[in-house]
Structure 1
Amino acid sequence: MAILAGLLLLVLGRVAGVAASPGQGPLAGTLIVVDPGHGGIDRGACHLPSNTIESEINLEFSFLLRDLLRQQGARVLLTRTTDEDLDLDPRIEIANANGADYLLSIHVNWFPDPTCFGAQTFYFPGREESRRLALLVQDELKKVDPANYREIQTGRYRVLRLTRMPGVLVELGFVDSPHDRAILHDPSRRRALAEAIVRGVIRHHRGEPGPEPAPDLRDR
């Protein structure tokens, strides 16, 4: 009972941070939960020589994404607003308890091969609206970086499996990739990535079909 009460207080505390919708724009009337992955002692993927720390990038990027979504009329709720260690279940409950229309979980990828690069969007298998959202977000991300060859991929992430609204997990790039680090550390290019995600959400909200990749590249 004490745990549930504490979780309820946490959720209500987050609700207080929701900005009032301006009542206009293509996302007016929607509530979007933006989830900056990791935080606190869990720093996520890191490239220490360049001071590329995933948890810090996720939070800074999420603030930017929140502001851009608000400009399009959405109400936005962040699962964390400080460098705190937050478990997955409170993140999930924040989205579900508030009846969010979308979940956008923000992360940075890692792979030991520095030639691997490119932002990529994941969705939980079998969720068709999430898949359509992933297709549209990925389509917009690839316009920002034409060299990006990546397509959407399924991911059995808990934060996607247990939330009830269309949701995607976006990996903004690879910390070990010089190509992606150049984007992650450039404010104007980070903004371009955030704007791409917003455009993808708007297209989904308008009911656009997702642009399907070639058959041999689907859901790999």
Structure 2
Amino acid sequence: MTAFILALGLLLAASTGWAAKRDKDLYLSAKKEYDLLRKGNSASGNSRRWEAVAERFQKIPQEFPRSAYADGALFYAGKSYRELYSVNRKERALDLAIKNWRALLSRYPNSPLAKEARYFLALSYEEGKGDVAEARKQYQALIEKFPRGDWPAKAKKRLKAMQEAEEEKKAPPSLSDGQPAKALLSQVRYTSSQSYTRITMDLSSEIRFETHVLKEEPSKGLPPRIYVDLLGARLGMDGAQPIVVQDRLLRQVRVAQFNPDIVRVVLDMSSLNGHNAFLLPDPYRLVIDIQGQRDREQFAALEKKRDLLPPRKTVKPPLPGLRRIVLDPGHGGKDPGAIGVKGATEKEIVLSVAKKLAKKLKAEMGIEVVLTRRDDSFIPLEDRTAIANAEDADLFISLHVNAAQNAAARGIETYYLDNTSDEASVRMAARENGTSRKSISDLQFILSDLTQNSKLEDSISLAHRLHTSVVSHMGQRYGPVKDLGIKKALFYVLVGARMPSVLVEMFFITNKTEGRELTRSAYQDALVDALFDGIKKYQETTQVVKNL
């Protein structure tokens, strides 16, 4: 009996030792991958790797809750999801980051990582969620529990900046000396790939800005730079550390209060490339698009490699022309879009249609399809275009359903990006942009160069193919469709797109008949068939033109 107990004890000790080694190995392996991703490129192609490493970290406290590495695993799971959010801008990734940091603070309140976790938790609420009250609560909790140290000091700076931003909003539009109030730069975010990067600066009000280019200075160890001076601005974010990007175009972003009246944003480039800058209102944000030169040899090698691979049995090989399409289900998350019959929401209908269309395009045309959102997430309008550019898509199609105060309004209309004087188109753009009619009018001049440089003729052709296909197919299956025409307007979601791009308003959710039909699966399937046919005919037409 004594021998049995002794053997059992030795077995338990051995298993405990194995578990201790197992959790350490899992943690160090995941941390190594995390560090490699941090040092490497933060391009959209790394989305799956960031998600995978986050899941690896999450499993450690689940399997080994008493492990000495459990708190670190939760911390880096949060950091990994935060990195994923910076790449795909999907709210689900941010929610998972918050969940892991909250778990760390709840289970391991005395962890050495508690300060940093609390800070990033607060920052995620402030910058990601826009929840100022919760952010302030978390910053204050950090300061109260840990009065000293770098992270509490940073929290104090954030609280001060938030306070100044609130005072700025409450302040009258001009100061006592007649000078305009200063705009506040509250956040800089980015979306990037190997051949495209979009930088977005969130501002409290309209602003004047200047862009400048500096060539590389090897003798001083300085890379080529693009710098943007925000005139009459104040810094409302932590500029102590650069924002590391490290794609083929952009190394990092540095932000500082250059002088009392100018905030300077410096883009340290890997190489000098073309760029565009434009201001979007309501809320104001300054967008910098950086375009790179495609590495033709790399793409040729990639295509050759694809040709060598046998096609999957369930998916047809792609027809010549279209490789990748980005579908944009409008709205999402906190933005339901239009609300129609029996509370049906635009965001739910267009997401369902987009998923079905993506599946059909892949299965029957062999086209890779990227959705700007796959769930009920809120994606800023300018980030949706950035996703299409970063994915180097061949087409960008934004899917919406229409709405009107007149419940009898019905039919379909399709838009491409261009200046317009048509009042109805201006009102429609204002509704989808979530802005005022005046802002659209002000934007006409600002964006004129961008629209002239876009693939206008191809966008018009795509709009015609999609529109006529939907009118024809839906008319044959469900009776006459009211054709509201193909129109032009300044939709933010199309601004800066580097490929043919359109916005389709698929019937009226506020119309009793159309609104009810839009919620039916069979009706959505018919819409998908119509859109699919329009895309297929567009591809066939463009191939004929290229072969002439």
Q: TM-score range by the shorter chain?
A: 0.7 to 0.9
1:23-172 matched pairs, under 5 angstroms: 24=317, 26=319, 30-47=323-340, 49-71=341-363, 72-125=365-418, 127-143=456-472, 144-145=474-475, 146-172=480-506
Name the structure with the higher helix share.
2
Once the two structures are superposed, residues 75-126 of structure 1 have per-residue CA deviations (whole angstroms, 9 ceiling, x without a partner) of: 0000111101111122111100111000111111111111111122111126
Aligned residues: 199
In structure 1, runs of 5+ residues without a counterpart are 14-19, 210-220
Residue in structure 2 matched with residue 195 of structure 1 by the alignment: 529
Q: For residues 322 and 345 of structure 2, what CA distance do their matches in structure 1 show?
A: 34
Equivalent position amino acid for 1:140 in 2? S
Equivalent position amino acid for 1:24 in 2? P
Check the 8 A contact 2:412/2:485 in 1, yes or no.
no
Give the secondary structure class of the aligned counterpart of 1:94.
helix
In structure 2, runs of 5+ residues without a counterpart are 1-41, 43-82, 94-310, 419-451, 544-548
Give the secondary structure class of the aligned counterpart of 2:357.
helix
**Larger RCO, structures 1/2 (Cα 8 Å, 6+ apart):** 1
Equivalent position amino acid for 2:88 in 1? L
Structure 1 pair 175/29, CA: closer, same or farther in 2 (3 Å)? closer
Residue in structure 1 matched with residue 45 of structure 2 by the alignment: none
Q: Which has the larger radius of gyration?
A: 2
Deviates most, 85-94 or 35-44? 85-94
Check the 8 A contact 1:31/1:102 in 2, yes or no.
yes
TM-score by length of structure 2 reads 0.34
Q: For residues 120 and 27 of structure 1, what CA distance do their matches in structure 2 show?
A: 29
Residue in structure 2 matched with residue 215 of structure 1 by the alignment: none
TM-score by length of structure 1 reads 0.81
Deviates most, 159-168 or 28-37? 28-37
Check the 8 A contact 1:27/1:74 in 2, yes or no.
no
Structure 1 pair 53/45, CA: closer, same or farther in 2 (3 Å)? same
Q: For residues 88 and 35 of structure 1, what CA distance do their matches in structure 2 show?
A: 10
